[in-house]
């Protein structure tokens, strides 16, 4: 705890300092008519915002469960990083526009000395930021691992070790974002210093613009490109999480293959794997089994498969087969067909032949979930099962698992 508050005090100090630097830089940029200084100021601003988000994100991630959000707020980090990157992109876009305008209408940098001084101090401040951040935020990771009691000599240690490494890497998502910003700032300050020096050494006075006036916009454009190149990967990563995509380390094909091989599982569907925040993967699936005992056997093995894939929170819904329902369809999507549009994947389409039907069904299953193609058949295949006893369950065409390997609605492809 002591470390946390120490770091947060440092962060707050840096935030205040950044705010001051931003204000100074932007005013001098307007006074001295230097575009690169303005872009540097914007970079400092987005850096500041990411630090603030980092501060809040850390606080929020500690909340594990809340009435408003059953997952806690661990995603606040990710969302903050995404928002900040988009904000930075928008600011850079406006700077880019300014630079284009400067190409059309070149303007001189006045008060070169002032700009130079501010540029140098900005550079110094960025380096200071960099140093402080390197020091304070890399020492955060280790203690957590020792607390879980993991012995590093675990048989599974290569996997666990690599997982830990992955976890460390991905947990520093927002921190990395901040770091990238800081490095971009440093570059920006260098650009400012270069431009100001040129104007200081060869002042233009009242003369009209010559080649010197074009240096500012060109270097600014380069700087914009650099900053954008660091913002875009962050946007990509965070949108992977926000869009509920399958996390990077998980291979769905492999996973579903392994799941199909678990004995006792006739078929499965509605497999969803997503990432809550860095490192925390969640999965849900519906499994069709013959009997409850089958299910309990299979449940453990299914979890193991997921565990090996890196997914540790799994919710498995068992469904029991009878001769009436097709093997492919979900037996319990919701209680009424009217809810189909609110299911995450539509159950509308009827299944066809086995393997083919699986593929075709896969394509049509959640096809444009909300759209119905006009047909309002509400009484399709989801048959009614009333009192199929256990023996009828056994009479179901109990295809071997190998056959059913290809039948898993949900997300096989």
Q: Is the CB of 47 or the CB of 133 nearer to another protein?
A: 47
Name beta bridge partners: 313: 282
* Residues in 393-412 that interact with another protein by CB under 8 A: 393, 410-411
Integer CA distances (angstroms), 13 to 16, 18, 20, 51, 184, in order: 5, 8, 11, 11, 21
Q: Is the CB of residue 216 less than 8 Å from the CB of residue 95?
A: no
DSSP-derived letter for residue 203 is -
Contacts of 406 (CB under 8 A, 6+ apart): 260, 354, 355, 358, 412
Position 1 contacts another protein (CB under 8 A): no
Minimum Å gap between C-beta 106 and another protein is: 12
φ, ψ for residue 188 (rounded to 5)?
-60, -40
Q: How far apart are CA 159 and CA 169, in angstroms?
A: 15
Q: Is the CB of 145 or the CB of 403 nearer to another protein?
A: 145
Minimum Å gap between C-beta 26 and another protein is: 7
- Name the one range near another protein by CB under 8 A: 7-15, 133-141, 185-193, 357-365: 357-365
Does residue 310 come out as left (phi exceeding 0), alpha (psi in the -120 to 50 range) or beta? left
Q: Is the CB of residue 33 less than 8 Å from the CB of residue 107?
A: yes
Position 94 contacts another protein (CB under 8 A): yes
* Residues in 114-173 that interact with another protein by CB under 8 A: 144, 147-151, 153-156, 160, 163, 167
Minimum Å gap between C-beta 82 and another protein is: 8
Q: How far apart are CA 289 and CA 336, in angstroms?
A: 23
Q: How far apart are CA 217 and CA 41, in angstroms?
A: 15
Q: Is the CB of 68 or the CB of 207 nearer to another protein?
A: 68
Q: How far apart are CA 286 and CA 139, in angstroms?
A: 42
Q: Is the CB of 179 or the CB of 382 nearer to another protein?
A: 382
Q: Which residue from 67, 206, 207, 400 is in contact with another protein, where contact means CB under 8 A?
A: 67
Position 384 contacts another protein (CB under 8 A): yes
Q: Is the CB of 190 or the CB of 270 nearer to another protein?
A: 270
Position 358 contacts another protein (CB under 8 A): no
Nearest C-alpha neighbor of 180 from the set 221, 139, 225, 130: 130
Position 73 contacts another protein (CB under 8 A): yes
φ, ψ for residue 265 (rounded to 5)?
-95, 120
Q: Put the strands of the sheet holding 313-320 in their side by side order.
A: 265-277, 280-289, 313-320
Q: Is the CB of 13 or the CB of 94 nearer to another protein?
A: 94
Minimum Å gap between C-beta 131 and another protein is: 29
Q: Is the CB of 10 or the CB of 383 nearer to another protein?
A: 383
Quick one: how far is CA 290 from the chain centroid?
A: 38
Q: Is the CB of 135 or the CB of 308 nearer to another protein?
A: 308
- Name the one range near another protein by CB under 8 A: 126-134, 260-268, 352-360, 387-395: 387-395
Position 336 contacts another protein (CB under 8 A): yes
Minimum Å gap between C-beta 341 and another protein is: 7
Q: Is the CB of 185 or the CB of 275 nearer to another protein?
A: 275
Name beta bridge partners: 318: 287
Minimum Å gap between C-beta 186 and another protein is: 23
Q: How far apart are CA 174 and CA 300, in angstroms?
A: 35
Minimum Å gap between C-beta 132 and another protein is: 26
326: Cα within 13 Å, side-chain hemisphere:
19
Residue 297 CB coordination number (10 Å): 16
Q: Which residue from 40, 216, 322, 404 is in contact with another protein, where contact means CB under 8 A?
A: 322
Q: Which residue from 17, 86, 127, 215 is in contact with another protein, where contact means CB under 8 A?
A: 86
Q: Which residue from 201, 206, 379, 400 is in contact with another protein, where contact means CB under 8 A?
A: 379
Position 376 contacts another protein (CB under 8 A): yes
* Residues in 252-271 that interact with another protein by CB under 8 A: 252-253, 270-271
Name beta bridge partners: 287: 268, 318
Minimum Å gap between C-beta 403 and another protein is: 20
Nearest C-alpha neighbor of 36 from the set 200, 214, 208: 214
Position 64 contacts another protein (CB under 8 A): yes
Position 207 contacts another protein (CB under 8 A): no
**Number of residues located near another protein, criterion CB under 8 A:** 128
Q: How far apart are CA 362 and CA 410, in angstroms?
A: 7
């Amino acid at each position: 705890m002591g470390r946390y508050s120490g770091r947060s005090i440092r962060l707050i100090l840096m935030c205040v300092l950044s705010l001051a630097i931003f204000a100074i830089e932007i005013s001098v940029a307007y006074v001295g008519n230097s575009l690169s200084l303005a872009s540097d100021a914007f970079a400092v601003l987005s850096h500041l915002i990411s630090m603030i988000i980092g501060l809040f994100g850390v606080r929020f991630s500690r909340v594990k469960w809340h009435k408003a959000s059953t997952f806690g707020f661990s995603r606040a980090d990710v969302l903050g990083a995404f928002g900040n990157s988009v904000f930075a992109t928008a600011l850079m876009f406006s700077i880019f526009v300014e630079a284009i305008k400067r190409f059309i209408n070149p303007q001189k940098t006045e008060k070169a000395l002032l700009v130079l001084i501010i540029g140098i101090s900005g550079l110094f401040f960025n380096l200071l930021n960099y140093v402080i951040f390197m020091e304070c935020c890399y020492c955060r990771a280790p203690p957590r691992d020792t607390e879980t009691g993991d012995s590093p000599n675990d048989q599974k240690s290569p996997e666990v070790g690599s997982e830990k490494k992955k976890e460390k890497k991905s947990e520093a998502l927002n921190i990395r974002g901040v770091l990238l910003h800081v490095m971009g700032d440093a570059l920006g300050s260098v650009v400012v210093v270069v431009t100001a020096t040129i104007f200081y050494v060869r002042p233009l006075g009242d003369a009209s613009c010559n080649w010197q006036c074009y240096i500012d916009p060109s270097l600014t454009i380069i700087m914009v490109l650099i900053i954008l190149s660091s913002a875009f990967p962050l946007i990509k990563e965070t949108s992977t999480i926000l869009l509920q995509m399958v996390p990077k380390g998980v291979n769905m094909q492999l996973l579903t293959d392994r799941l199909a091989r678990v004995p006792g599982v006739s078929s499965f569907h509605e497999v969803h794997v997503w990432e809550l925040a860095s490192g925390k993967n969640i999965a849900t699936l519906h499994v069709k089994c013959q009997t409850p005992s089958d299910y309990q056997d299979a449940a453990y093995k299914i979890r193991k498969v997921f565990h090996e894939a890196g997914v540790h929170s799994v919710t498995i819904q068992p469904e029991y087969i009878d001769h009436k329902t097709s093997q492919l369809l979900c037996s319990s999507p919701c209680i009424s067909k009217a809810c189909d549009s609110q299911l995450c994947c539509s159950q509308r389409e009827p299944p066809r032949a086995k393997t083919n039907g699986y593929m075709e069904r896969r394509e049509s299953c959640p096809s444009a979930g909300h759209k119905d193609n006009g047909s309002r058949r509400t009484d399709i295949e989801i048959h009614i099962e009333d009192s199929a006893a256990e023996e009828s369950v056994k009479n179901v065409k109990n295809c071997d698992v190998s056959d059913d390997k290809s039948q898993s609605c949900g997300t096989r492809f």
